[in-house]
Structure formats: structure tokens, C-alpha cells
Structure 1
Amino acid sequence: MAKDDGVQEASIDAVLAAQRAYAAASRERSKFGLMVPEAFVRGIRDLGYRSNGDAIAELIDNALQAYADRIDIVFGYDGTTSVKKPTQVAVIDNGHGMEPDMIRMAVMWGGTHRENDRIGLGRYGYGLPCASVSLGRRFTVYSATLGGAWHSVRLDLDALAEGAYTDAHGDIVVPPATVATLPPFVAEQIAQTHPEGWRSGTVILIDKLDRLEWSTAQGLRENLSRQFGVTYHKLRNAAAIFVDNEFVEPIDPLFLTSDFHLFDHDDDRAVALDPVRVEVRDCNGGNFCGAITLRYAWLPPSFGSVDKTRDAVGLNANPRFAILKDFHGVIFSRNGRLIDVQTRTPWTTFINNDRYIKVELEFSATLDELFGVTTSKQQVTVSPRIWELLQQAGLPKAIEQLRGKVKNAKLLRRLAALTPRPGEQSLSERAMGRTAELAHGYQRQFDLGLRASPYRLHFENLPGQAFFRIDRAGGARTLHINTAHRFYEDIYDGPSSTQEVRTALEILLFSFGDVLLDKSVESVIQIELWSRRLELALGMMAQHLAESDDFDVGPSSWIDAV
């Protein structure tokens, strides 16, 4: 968005005029009172932001509405020699700025000329003070309009408790804005990022930080960048966002936007269903109230993994997995800005396995009442009417369809893992090889050759012999399964068997063999006895099943039998 655009300049003039009118009217009405006692100001710190990122996002919203095209979240260290943990956080924007009276109003709860605005991101005027005190016990608002000097207002909760803001009448009063000098680290940042010269903008400086979730600058930077990348991905053309001088790459939480971060992290790709648009109309007159857009996607079960043959656990989780975990459920976006993620709907609850299905619901701010948007813009309470419209639009069916897609993909992945390619070991051979060293470490009675011995699977046809045997030959432990035994026909390769069952049986027999291999002749005799008993029992079971197939087990035959 160009700063010299004539249309934007006219819009900025109109905004500043609105600010002046609002400040003049409020001066007469409130005498710049803070509007609430000090206990409220302390309590408002517990408003309930889910994270530091949600709080700072309030300040980013204000910057976007001020037509900023660059927003910097900068860390300060207040003269300390360590740069590991910041002692200050500043949010710097190059928007239209505020005049002195408006700076004073901005520090107050509800002090905004945009109250009840349905066009932009803000609405109540609570964001700036609430967000600031949720991070630290003191914040300062610096601002300058085009051609104007820097002015500032500071609110210090410690000083407030000591009565520093209480006037002679006992009212808590916000001090007037005064000409100000920017802190050195903020001035240096502006000089570095705006070498062509500074025109206008606002700085929110928060210090006395006592509620940072991450104790290091690196942790703060990485987590904020990831969260803002998702939260503002649809507003990427409005402004460039930087955290500690690192550009925040936009991230589509559905991974459907080709030029966004992590879309092509590897060869796995998200698969979209067709989006759906839902119009919301007034129940009485049928007038258009707003629109809802539903986007759907499902992800391959290996989407969050480094090694695609294994689950995304521990070090095997790639950078995508953090997005899958943090934005798990129905994603709600208001005017292009993500505000909430919920795992419960009237029809279903999202569980861990549902991380690989994605549903996004975008709605316009004109529907705020129907979505129960909170003052902090980080939670929705969906009304029954909206749920009814979403049901009619096919949301429950779409969720089940997405689940079905992921389930089928998981089955194919499992089958591929169980089916070796030509020249590869079977899964049971690989599994036994990987566990051999562990077993050797804990079970010293195992043979010393177990650690290095590979495992091999072989089939043989020996009527009347044991259903399996294991031997050591050629440096390998070989499991021989007898295809002439009923175990093979009825269980291992029976009609109900699957590749997963066969692999589990192979591992079971390999494990028996490891214990029995070097014992005694009695072990071989014991296996032969097991085999005879197994042959007889399986024969009896087959005969029973054959007889039951000839008998009608329906209600009428039961009555006849009685």
C-alpha cells in the first residue's frame, strides 16, 4: 500500500479529523479520567489472552488500521549486556499516527474513535491498553503525525497503585501527552528500517515485562513469527511484519497457497475440497447481513514427518507439525484475520488424529453478534443459527469426507510400510534387527551373536512337521514357516489375515525362536507338540465354522428349533 497514494492521503486526513472530533467530545465528557479504579486496571491484566502472541496481535491490528505498510516487533535490553532475554518489547508502525489528545485517549480503556467499527480489525478500543498490561507493568505510547513532533503518554501500574495518577478530587486521570524523545533502540530501529526518512507512525513500548512466556529472544522470535505468519496470512499485501528484524513469512494453515511458507517444504501436498460460500440474511426482512466462506483440505499422514515412513514424533516432526498442532480444529477468521480455533462442534469433536484435516471458516465483522466475538477478538461463541446454516451447507458431511480421505491414505501408507520393495527386507526382519541390540542389552541370556545376526524369513512345505522352526545359518537367524501346516493356511494366510497380522505373527515367531534357538533338544520336541495340538484345534475350528455356515441363524430358524 503506497504511502503517497492520493486516495490514502485523503483517508488519513479523514481519520485524523475523526480523532480530533472524538478527543474534543471526550474531553468534555470524561476529563480524561481512566474511567475505572486501579483495582480494575490490575485485574484487566488477567483478561485471558491465550498467549503473548495474541496480545501483541492486538497492537498489530491497530497498526494495520492506521494504514501502516511495515510493522516491526523489536526487542530491547535496557542497557544490559545480555541479549538472550529482552527487557522491553516495542511495536513500531509507519501508519498515520495520532495527535497528542488522541494519544491520551488511546491509553484509556474504550478510548477509540473506531468504537463499533465493522470495516477493519478493531472495534471496542480495549486492545492497546489490555494487550500492553498483559505483558508488562508499564507501557508508553509514542506517536507522530505527518510533519508533527513525537509525543507520548505513559501508564505505569506501580505508579498508579501509589496514587501518581490520582488528582485532587480523587479521580484517576491520564496525564496529557508531552513532547518526547524515542528510546535509543527504537530510534536506531527506525533509522535502519526507514533510511529514506520517517514520516509518521506509532510506537507502543512495553517494559517491566513480567509475563513473557518464552525466556529467550530466540524462543520469543520463533513463536511470534510462526503465530503471526498464520494469523495474518490473508493480509500479507496490507503490511510487511518483522519480528526482531526477521520477515514474517505468511503461512496458510490449510497449506493450499503455493507461494506461502512451508507449502513446498517437501513433496507432500495438501489436497483441497471445493470451497463453499454461505450467505446470512435477516430472519425477518431477508436482507443480506454478511457472508461465510468455508475452505477444506486434508493432508497426507506423513505431512508433519521428516522420515515419511514414521509418525511425526519428537525429532521426526518437521516445521509443519507445529502448525498442525497449534491450529487443530475449526479455524475462525474475521475480516481476513484469524481469531480462534475450536475443536468442538455440535456434531463432532476433533481428536489428535484429526490434525490432518483442515477446516477454515471466514466471516465478515457484520456477523459479530452471531459469532459472539469477544472484546479481545480471540474467541467466538457460535450461535445456534450459524451452526444450523453450516449444517445446511454440508459442514458435518465435509468433515467426515475429510476423515475418510485421511483414513484411506493411512491404510495405503501402512500397506506400503508392510510390503517391501524388491531387494528390501520385510518389516518383521527389519523390526527384529532394530530390537536385537536392545534385547541383548537387557537379556544377557541371549546368544552373543544376536547383536550382529540379521534375520531372514523363509517358507517351506513339510507335511507332518512343525508349523515353524528357526535356525542359524550363513550368519543369519532364519525363520522357516511350514506352508503344509494348518497354521499357515488358516491363520497366517487365512481369509481374514492382513499384511499387518502376518507381520505381527512373524515377529512373534522370531521372538520365540530367539529364546528357543540355543536351548536344548527338548525345545524342538516342545514345538512339535505345540504344532500337533495346534493342527487338531484348527481342524476342530474349521469343522465348527463349516457346520455353522449350513445353519440359518436368523429368527425364524431359531423359533423352529425351539
Structure 2
Amino acid sequence: MAVSLVESGAALQSMRNSDFDAYSAYGEVIDNAVQAEAKNIRVQVTYDPARPQSRREPIRKICFGDDGVGMSAEILERCLQLGYSSRYNDRTGIGRFGVGAILGAINQCQKVEVYSKEAGGEWLYTYVDLEQVFSDPPTMESIPVPVSKAIPEDLKDLVGTDRGTLVIWSKYDRQPDDGSRIVEELKVWVGRTYRHFIWKNVKFFVNGAQVAAIDPLYVKTELTKFSADPKGTEFKEMTLDWPIAREDQVSGGPTTSTIRIRMSLLPAELRPAQGAGNSKAAQERYIDRNNGVSILRNGREVLYDVIPYWNGARFEEIDRWWGCEISFDAILDKAFMVKNIKRGALPMKDLKDALRDKIEPTRKTALERVRELWKQAKGEEHVQTNTETVITGHEAAEKVAKDTPTPKNETSKGKNTDEEIDKFTKEWLADADEASRKKWESKFAGQPFTILDANWRGPEFMEVAHLGGSDVLKYNMRHSFFAELEAIRVSIQGEQGDDNNATRLRLLIDLLLISFAKAQAMFDPKLTMTAEQLLEQLRMNWGNYLSNYISTSKKSEDGTSA
């Protein structure tokens, strides 16, 4: 007997407007693959390049393949029926309600095809096409009985050899973004949402690329894109026993279930100074998106955001530097008000208050530590008052520049060095006391180049102040260049235990930039030349000074006279 798809085509049309976004819709199909014990889950997004008249990259189809246990003919026949599930109300896995996959599919596209094969069986096929359902008169009023049908040749690599399931979405008419953008965002969404399954050796692939895990706590680096990264500091796990709704209790079973709260402070190396959250290193690790909490239901993420209507302190940019993961068993679905499509979680008010009381004290501690490090970095940016001299952290390069004979700067002509240094120091150290400023003035006057680590908003990664022969380079530590450089230096130093090469890398970068400043200082401000002549002269001078500085550095290392 034919299985009815739904009572009314009009009702089905309204269901297309269910509360999905594209990624939560994809997740419903992926959930089924995980529940089917798949070890390899593959998503293939096929899209056309943008045309001149349209910048959109239209999706032609999305295919989901796995090597899970597959479906019998009976289950396959009903798998596209709204409301049916072979695991309805089963809270042991990540599925439960049985409406997510088909609702997610029709929210995004008009045609859904399913192939499935159990071990030792054959590939069976059925489908739903909304164009046929909505035609007048309808040419599809029930789900076709599954028939034996071979997997398309070009999609065989998406499924297992002896078992598995293939789901194909086509007639894609509700595309939210360019195809290429969806592919990249899907890798991020899958890597974070299913991270605990990745760590249990379930492999996920998007357009052939294996997905890396993303840990919002930054305490587990295994199977992430940056396995050599330093790990965050995890605070002591907190637990909260919460009542199970009476209708969900099992006779003689427990009346409460334990909610687990894990919190962390991200590695100091990734947050050296205020503004580091916008660096390239932070963006590559998605720290710039890390503002809120991760709520997991049976190990699968259902929320990654600020908890709706949070009644604690307002979340700010600085909150990206700590992580929080709240895990609960699906038996508490009512307390977390999880939707039947597993998109989002909204803890009940009493639960939200209890979570706030657990989270806020640790959050406060984490933010204090972040601010303390930034305060220390800002202090080092200016002056160390407990020493006889002042320290920049770039003394090695400054000494090389001082020990290398070079001609006088053209920019120095007509400038009074003492006056220029005094003016610069008062502007830069406006809040410092007189003794501190004198120390810096002495340092500036005693060497041709001084390098300062500073922070400011803007695209410039460096500024050069020509002070009549005693020049100052200011590095903008907010710029992604320096964040990336520091991440590489820390990786060399930490992963390989190679202090010498890490130090050498920093020295070479300093000499490279000092050489540029020197080459720039050799231009007479009154000289007129073409842009081509200027660039050619700059390149030649830059290369020559860099060679000279490196030569001095090598002689110093060898113990010979500079």
C-alpha cells in the first residue's frame, strides 16, 4: 500500500518555512549518518561559477554520503514521511523526533532522493519531488515504493562499499549564500558541531577535504588545524543536577540528570595584547567568532552563541578569550527547550539562573587574567621603572644597527636631534613621570634605531619617526602580521624546543624593518624624482643595508670584530 506523504500540499508548502538555517538543515542529514554508526560521512556541494550578470554561485545539488548501517526497504519507504522515525523519542543518540531530515531538506530544495543499502543487500531508491506534489493536478501524492537502483557512478566514492546511505538534494531554490562560501562555512560548522565525534574517530569530509575539529575551549588541539598550538587553561569542571520532567522519568529510574559545565582561558600566546582577537592568527582559529557558550546535547552542539536573554553581565569583545561548554543528556530536552530540529537551546528561566550562578564567577576570574596580561603588555610597551635602563625587547637588532657603519641620514639635515627626541618622548609618554622620560630620551639618543611595540587601530603595521639621526620604529602589534609572526615564533620555540631559531627569526624581522627605515631616511626631502626612480632607489638601498646589518650580526655571532 502506498504511503501518504502528507494530507495537504498546502500544509507541506507552509512547512517549507520551518525554523531552519542552511547549516542546521544539513546537520539533520549528518545526524542520521552519525546515528547510523557511520565512520566516514561525506558532503559534496556542487555549484556553478558566478556569471557576469549574476555574482551568485548557484548550487545544483548537495549530496550526503555515509558508510553507516543503511536502511531496510520498509524504513526507506517511510524515511521521507513527515513525522515517521524508526527511533522516535529515542534519547540515547543525537536524533529523536524523526522530522528533522525531511523538514530540513524541503526548507532548502524541492527534490530529495535517497539510496540506501544494508550489509549484504542491494541499493534501494526512493524520492520526493515537490514540483510534482505542487503541480495542478498533483502528479505525486505518495512516496514511491523503494526500487532497486544503482548509485550514480560519480557518487560512489561518497558511500561505503558494502553498506551506507546517499541523500541527494536538488532543485535547490532557497540558497542563502554563494556555493563556495557555503562550502567553507560548512567545514567550520561541522568541525565545531561534531568535534566530539571527530575525537571518537568519526571522519567528516566536505567536498573531499577532511574536516578538522574546532574546540571553542581551545584546550584540545588533537585533530584540529593547529595541533601544535599551546593549549588553553581549563578550570575545574562544574556540575549541576537538574530535575527530569515528570513525563520523561522512567519508573524506578533517576529523577535528576547531571549537567556538566567546562570553562577555559584561551592560551596567553594567542592573546598577548588588546586587539589580538582581530589578528590573522585569531581569525584562522575562529577566535574572532568566539563570543558566547557552546551547548552540547548528547555530545552534539545545538547552540554556539550567547544564551538568549542571558541575565548575567553583558558579553563584550573581551569575552572571546574564555570558553564555556555546557553538556546535557537528551533526557533534559524540556529544561533546555530544544526544538525538534535541534537548532538552538533556550534554558528555562530557573535553569538559566542556575547556569549564570555557576558561570559568572569563573568568567570574572578569566577576564581579570586577560586584563592583567594586557596591562602588563601595555606597561612593557612603555617603561620598566625598576631598571637603570629601559628595555624594548629588541636590543639585539638595535645593537646590530648601532655596530654597523652607515652614512648619515638625509632626513637629519636641518633637524635638532635633542629637540626631536624631546618632542617625540613627551607625545609618546605623556602620562609618564620625568625620570622615566629621561631614561627613554637617553636610550633614543644613544643609538641610531629604537624599536617599540605599540598598539593602535588602523591598517598600518609600522610607523617610522625620523628624529634627526636617532630614529624610532613603532610596531603595531594589533596588525595580523605580528600576531602571525609571534604564533610562528612560539611554535618554533615550543614545538621544536628551538630557542635559537626563534630568537634568530625575530632578529631577522627586526633587521629587515630597520633596513627599510634606513633606506627611507636616505632620501633628501627636497629631492624631486619620478615614482619609478624612487622605488628603484629604495629597493637598492634597502637590500644593501639589510646585507650590511646581517653581516654585522653574523660577525657578532662568530665572535669576530664588527
The TM-score normalised by the length of structure 1 is 0.64
Quick one: which amino acid aligns to residue 371 of structure 1? F
Q: Which structure 2 residues correspond to residues 26-425 of structure 1 after superposition, within 5 A? A: 32-50=3-21, 52-76=22-46, 86-163=59-136, 165=138, 172-190=141-159, 198-217=161-180, 219-236=181-198, 237=200, 239-262=202-225, 264=227, 266=229, 269-281=231-243, 287-300=254-267, 303=270, 311-312=275-276, 316-318=279-281, 320=283, 323-344=286-307, 345-391=310-356, 394-419=358-383, 422=391
Q: For residues 216 and 488 of structure 1, what CA distance do their matches in structure 2 show?
A: 49
Distance 1:141 1:91 in 2: 10
Distance in 2 (CA, whole Å) between partners of 1:310 and 1:391 is: 26
TM-fit CA distance, 1:122: 0.7
What is the Cα deviation at residue 258 of structure 1? 3.7
CA positional deviation for 1:282: 5.3
AA paired with 2:17?
D
Match of 1:547 in 2: none
Distance 2:117 2:6 in 1: 25
Deviations 1:130-172 (A, max 9, x none): 22223322111111222222222221222211047567xxxx4
Structure 1 residues 62, 33: closer, same or farther in 2, change over 3 A? Answer: same
Contact preservation (8 Å) 1:214, 1:220: yes
Deviation at 1:77, TM superposition (A): 6.0
Distance in 1, matches of 2:165 and 2:428, equals 77
**Pair 1:211–1:277, CA change in 2 (3 A):** same
Residue 482 and residue 173 in structure 1: after superposition, are their counterparts in 2 closer, same or farther (change >3 A)?
A: closer
- Secondary structure, counterpart of 1:74 in structure 2: strand
d(CA) in 2 for partners of 1:101, 1:415:
70
Contact 1:95 1:202 in 2 (8 A): yes
Structure 1: gaps of 5 or more residues = 1-26, 427-448, 455-469, 515-562
**Aligned equivalent of 1:493:** 433
What is the CA–CA distance in structure 1 between the aligned matches of 2:133 and 2:368, rounded to whole Å? Answer: 58
Number of the residue aligned with 2:402? none
Tell me how far apart the structure 1 counterparts of residues 361 and 341 of structure 2 sit (CA, whole Å).
32
Alpha-carbon separation, structure 2, partners of 1:450 and 1:40: 80
SS in 2 for 1:412: helix
Show the 5 A alignment for 1:377-526: 377-391=342-356, 394-419=358-383, 422=391, 472-473=416-417, 477-479=420-422, 492-493=432-433
Which secondary structure does the structure 2 equivalent of 1:348 belong to?
coil
Cα distance change of structure 1 residues 78 and 152 upon mapping to structure 2, 3 Å threshold: farther
**SS class of match (1:158):** helix
* Equivalent-residue separation in structure 1 for 2:324 and 2:425 (angstroms): 51
The equivalent of 1:554 in structure 2 is: none
Give the letter for the 1:290 counterpart.
S
* Bigger relative contact order (CA 8 A; separation at least 6): 2
Match runs of 1:520-535 below 5 Å: none
| Alpha-carbon distance, 1:211 to partner | 3.2
CA drift of 1:35 comes to: 2.5
Amino acid across the alignment from 1:35: V
Distance 1:283 1:111, change over 3 A: closer
The alpha carbon displacement at 1:249 in A equals 1.6
Bigger drift between 414-423 and 336-345 goes to 414-423
SS at match of 2:422: strand
C-alpha distance in 1 between matches for 2:123 and 2:423: 85
The aligned length equals 415
- Aligned-partner Cα distance in 1 for 2:194–2:8: 35
How much does 1:48 deviate? 2.6
Spell out, residue by residue over 1:344-378, the C-alpha distance to the aligned partner (whole angstroms, 9 max, x if none): 42222322221112111000001001110001101
Between the aligned residues of both structures, percent identity stands at 21
Q: Deviations over 1:437-468 (max 9, x none)?
A: xxxxxxxxxxxx999569xxxxxxxxxxxxxx
Q: CA deviation at 1:205?
A: 0.3
CA 156–333 in structure 1, closer or farther in 2 if over 3 Å, else same: same
How far apart are the structure 1 equivalents of 2:315 and 2:425? 46
SS in 2 for 1:134: helix
Give the counterpart letter for 1:185 in structure 2.
D
TM-score (normalizing by structure 2): 0.64
User: Within 2, Cα distance between the matches of 1:368 and 1:472?
Assistant: 74
Q: Distance in 2 between matches of 1:482 and 1:425?
A: 18
Q: Distance in 2 between matches of 1:201 and 1:489?
A: 68
Q: Is the 8 A contact 2:124 2:147 kept in 1?
A: yes
Say if 1:165 and 1:173, in contact at 8 Å, map to a contact too: no
Supply the distance in 2 between the matched residues of 1:368 and 1:332 (Cα, whole angstroms). Answer: 12
SS at match of 2:84: coil
Q: Aligned with 2:77: secondary structure?
A: helix
Q: Deviations along 1:459-502, whole A, 9 cap, x unmatched? A: xxxxxxxxxxx95349x93226999xxx999964189x9x9xxx
- SS of the residue aligned with 1:61? helix
* TM-fit CA distance, 1:332: 0.5
AA in 2 matched with 1:472: N
Cα distance in 1 for partners of 2:365, 2:355 equals: 15
* Mapped partners of 2:430, 2:291: distance in 1: 44
Change in Cα spacing, 1:159 to 1:358, as seen in structure 2 (3 Å) is same
Gap change, CA 1:479 and 1:247, over 3 Å in 2: same
CA drift of 1:38 comes to 2.0
CA distance in 1 between partners of 2:243 and 2:350 (Å) = 11
Q: Residues 313, 346 of structure 1: CA spacing in aligned structure 2 closer, same or farther, 3 A cutoff?
A: closer
Q: Distance in 2 between matches of 1:202 and 1:141?
A: 7
Q: Partners of 2:219 and 2:175 in 1: how far apart?
A: 33
C-alpha distance in 1, partners of 2:49/2:269?
A: 47
Q: Is the 8 A contact 1:92 1:201 kept in 2?
A: yes
Q: Distance in 2 between matches of 1:178 and 1:489?
A: 80
Cα distance change, pair 407–77 in 1 and its aligned pair in 2 (3 A)? closer
* Structure 1 residue 59: Cα displacement: 0.8
Shift of 1:37: 2.1
Contact 2:125 2:146 in 1 (8 A): yes
| Unaligned runs of at least 5 residues, structure 2 | 52-56, 385-389, 396-407, 440-451, 457-463, 469-562
Matched residue, 1:541: none
Q: Deviations over 1:205-224 (max 9, x none)?
A: 0112233444244x333221
- 1:416-444 C-alpha deviation (Å, 9 max, x unpaired): 33348746789xxxxxxxxxxxxxxxxxx
Deviations 1:261-317 (A, max 9, x none): 145455x5422111112222459999443111111012257627xxx6673476x32
Give 1 or 2 for the bigger CA radius of gyration: 1
| Whole-angstrom distance in 2 between the partners of 1:482 and 1:115 | 72
- Amino acid paired to 1:291: T
Letter in 1 for 2:146: A
